[in-house]
Amino acid sequence: MYAYTDFDRDFLAERNAQFRAQVARRIDGSLTEDEFKPLRLMNGLYLQLHAYMLRVAIPYGTLNAAQMRQLAMIADRWDKGYGHFTTRQNIQYNWPELRDVPDMLDALGEVGMHAIQTSGNTIRNVTADHFAGAAAEEIADPRPIAELIRQWSTDHPEFQFLGRKFKIAVTGSVQDRAVTAAHDIGLRLVERDGQLGAMVLVGGGLGRTPMIGKILNDFVALDDLLPYLEAIVAVYNLLGRRDNKYKARIKITVHENGIEEIRARVDAEFPARKAAFNGADMDILKRIEADFAAPKFEDGQGAFPTHYQHDPVFRSFVDTNTTAHRHPDYAILTVSTKAHGATPGDATSDQMRVLADLAETYAHNELRISHEQNVILPHLPKKHLRAVHAALAEAGLATANVGLISDIIACPGMDYCALATARSIPVAQEIAERFEQLKLEHEVGPLKIKISGCINACGHHHVGHIGILGLDRAGVENYQITLGGDGGPDAVIGERAGPGFAYDEVTDAIERLVRAYLDVRQDPSETFLDTYRRLGAAPFKAALYPEEAKANAA
Amino acid sequence: MPRAFTPKVVTANALLEGDVVYLDAQGHWTRDHAKADLIEDQGTAEIRLLEAQAQAHEIVGAYLADAQAGPHGPEPIHFREAFRTRGPSNYAHGKQADGVTTE
Ligand code: HEM
Ligand code: SF4
């Protein structure tokens, strides 16, 4: 894993000292809120509905046991004993007090973590495939590139005041678990003639105007990548609109100027940038790559095959929550934070410590946070799976629902978020509990439901197979449903099904939708998304709006 | 005909804790919506908001929120403001934990 240098540590300590002084000046009245707000946002500190919120970056979702334990300590000492993992591979603390935040940042700094560029119109926390370095089908580990991008972008003087936030995601697998097509820049590592490079997508994004990224370049050699990215961001910084914040994202720049124009400008900008880099970035990349060397994998599966064969609960857990590892005696284990009725993405400090212990004892001291708000043990020897399962069960973390209907992404919504137009969390809780009661979840199979509490789409509803968007209709919560979205390699934005539903009607509507799928699917191997693609929206709309369907038939 | 004025309370977040607070009739900040001053006309509402905004050493982000008279004092009208009087729905955190809500 990437190890901080003295330079990194000094940088953080200095930055935190600076913020500590700023907080003190706000409290003693020498800074107004207007002066202080941009300073606190530069350090990830928001003011939400009921309290402040501190957003901490977990770069490319990777952390070790010591870092996870520190996150737990912070939750206990300065928050309410839990944290919220987000779709951007961050953790958010919902209840910090202003005077404590400098101490929280120092505690993070002790384990090489921070909240820099988790807010503001800068290049945000770089996200990556949560199975990086572990997945069987991976072309290359995306994290060294992500770390290189992080080092280049952190406090980059040219890019601190972009027109709008800027998000970069990297995947090293054709499976694209990083939703690269929904980012300002999406990078997909590819191989050509034995050389590693990146396919560069640009102009994707969710929010108010959802768009799928377009291919700007199908192969950029690695040693050209940073200058190429710098050229893109520089072009956007100049060309992007600043007259209207809703039109300021690069997706609009690409849409309004056309991908050819953007490409021409990037190509024109690139040579000067390349000359300035001078190869220094590749020396840094080599050092970073060494830090990400794979652990020494141990051979053998112990009693795993026997347990798998004889214990149906364990088998179901393994079948649902593990993914093929590059080493045949290993598994990638996804630990669901979505026990039925739980708040998606929340983990208590005790749960964080259990996960840290398990990573340290059994799984090469590595953890990941996924954009689906779950926690992953990426390198778990199969021989330890049963012990890990038992420990997770004791901590309430053994729910076998990864990728199923109750594995819902939900943003904080109006239970926390100041921008929300409706709640998300209780809707997710009720849907999960309903399908648990119906015992239908495993029968239904892979199905992604994603919920956002406003058009900003932090809950990725546009790329949910079923997306739910909470709105305010004349002072009442109302939920719009989208269908057929997909965040995978061939990403698709879902289509609106029709009028929205009242708060107490949503779960019934989702149940009708899912039952309609069970009625019309060809066989159990045809997923909800496959069925939707085969039949289109009609049977699903009929299930959502039975009255209308009846009227049309009459 | 001019539109009827919907009564307002002045609300904000406390500077240090972030808690939701309301301006009472004495010009102090209370955490209890029912103890807020219910303002019945536009002119007074605007003046009181300015007074509130001047207290930047205590609060952040003051604004006017619609409210109505209830048996125990002012009540929120919109669901957003109702959530702000109690805290999130997933945990008994915030005001509901502190026993501030009068509901
Ligand atoms: C609670 C404080 C939050 C605030 C104030 C906030 C604000 C926003 C805003 C304004 C946008 C739209 C940006 C635009 O279109 O220009 C956005 C998008 C987004 N946010 Fe958040 N958000 C919050 C929390 C979260 C959380 C908890 C997550 C993850 C669960 C998240 C992940 C995202 C994602 C994935 C997008 C869409 C990607 C895109 O805009 O291209 N945010 N957020
Ligand atoms: S989608 Fe809206 S409600 Fe949800 S976290 Fe983002 S800004 Fe808040």
Q: Is A344 in the pocket of ligand 1 (CB under 6 A)?
A: no
End-to-end CA distance of chain B: 36
At A308, the amino acid letter reads: Y
* Crossing angle (nearest 10°) for helices A65-78 and A101-110: 160
| Pair type for strands B8-14 and A82-85 | unpaired
On whether any CB of chain B is under 8 Å from the CB of A98, the answer is yes
- Is A477–B79 a contact, with Cβ atoms under 8 angstroms apart? yes
Q: Is A58 in the pocket of ligand 2 (CB under 6 A)?
A: no
Within 8 A of A98 by CB-CB distance, chain B residues are 15-18
pLDDT at A5 (0 to 100) = 87
Cα distances (angstroms) measured from residue A551 to each of A155, A357, A481, A546, B95: 60, 59, 21, 9, 47
Supply the pTM of this predicted model: 0.95
On whether any CB of chain B is under 8 Å from the CB of A160, the answer is no
- Distance in angstroms (rounded) separating the CA atoms of residues A347 and A72: 9
Beta-bridge partner residues of A123 = A166
Tell me if A223 sits within 8 A of A273, measured CB to CB. no
- Distance in angstroms (rounded) separating the CA atoms of residues A319 and A401: 10
The pair of three-digit structure tokens given for residue A152, joined into one six-digit string = 């280049």
Separation in Å, CA of A271 to nearest CA in chain B: 47
pLDDT at A554 (0 to 100) = 63
Low-confidence stretches of chain A (pLDDT beneath 70): 554
pLDDT at A342 (0 to 100) = 97
Q: What is the DSSP letter of A376?
A: E
On whether any CB of chain A is under 8 Å from the CB of B92, the answer is no
- Is B18–A32 a contact, with Cβ atoms under 8 angstroms apart? no
- Is A50–B79 a contact, with Cβ atoms under 8 angstroms apart? no
The bound ligand whose nearest atom lies closest to the alpha carbon of A49 is 1
By alpha-carbon position, which residue is closest to atom 7 of ligand 1? A456
The bound ligand whose nearest atom lies closest to the alpha carbon of A90 is 1
pLDDT at A145 (0 to 100) = 98
Distance from Cα A460 to the centre of ligand 1, integer Å = 9
A247-265 burial code (b ≥16 CB/10 A, e <16): bbbbbbbbeebeeeebbeb
* Crossing angle (nearest 10°) for helices A143-153 and A280-291: 130
Rounded to 5°, the CA angle A539-A544-A545 comes to 100
- Chain-centre distance for alpha carbon B53: 14
CA dihedral (A58, A64, A66, A68) positive or negative: positive
Nearest to A50 among B78, B90, B94 (CB): B94
pLDDT at B1 (0 to 100) = 53
Cβ contacts of B27 within 8 Å, gap of 6 or more: B51
pLDDT at B101 (0 to 100) = 60
Nearest ligand 2 atom, CA A418: 8
Tens digits of per-residue pLDDT, B12-47?
A: 999 999 999 999 999 999 999 999 999 999 999 999
On whether any CB of chain B is under 8 Å from the CB of A299, the answer is no
